[in-house]
Structure 1
Amino acid sequence: MLNIDQSIIYYLGVVIFLILLVLSMKLKKLIIFKIILKTAIGGLIVFALNILLNLFQTAIPLNLITSFLVGVLGIPGLLLIFLIKYIVYPL
């Protein structure tokens, strides 16, 4: 169970996060929104690529980190994921 002090800290953290989000949107600095959008697009790319890679019986794990890397870094991020995957789990 959370005590009152911990819940107040959590609520303050959420309020501070929301204030920063609103300020960033008001200042036309949509960095957070762009990162979230690119991460979502990266997730869709990884999902579509996994459908194609199913023919070769391999897949890229679909999680927040891989979606972020593919969305923000693009093709170099995708190559980085493949490289890490085959270093950790060689054929």
Structure 2
Amino acid sequence: MSTSLIASLRKQLPSIYGEHLPNEIRYRGADGHDVVVALDAATVDELAFAIQTTNAESLALSRRRTALEELHTEVRKRAARGADRIADVSWVC
């Protein structure tokens, strides 16, 4: 992998996100297995697949975060406090 190419790309990108470019990209192949490709060897299609994979991961993370936020709101409504265990919260309305 050419670290000088990656460093050059990071400097040339017209946004603040250049520093977040990974050295490798990952996507799920047609067979369902993860494919890892060095960024400087990746094709444009592989880059698009990596974007799709990252978007799916982001959506899943967002859903998990929202579910946890909703759970937190609900246990607080039931007077649970910081050291209380979720299993000990009364769920009877």
TM-score in terms of structure 2 length: 0.36
Q: With a CA cutoff of 8 Å and minimum separation of 6, indicate the structure with the bigger relative contact order.
A: 1
Higher share of residues assigned strand: 2
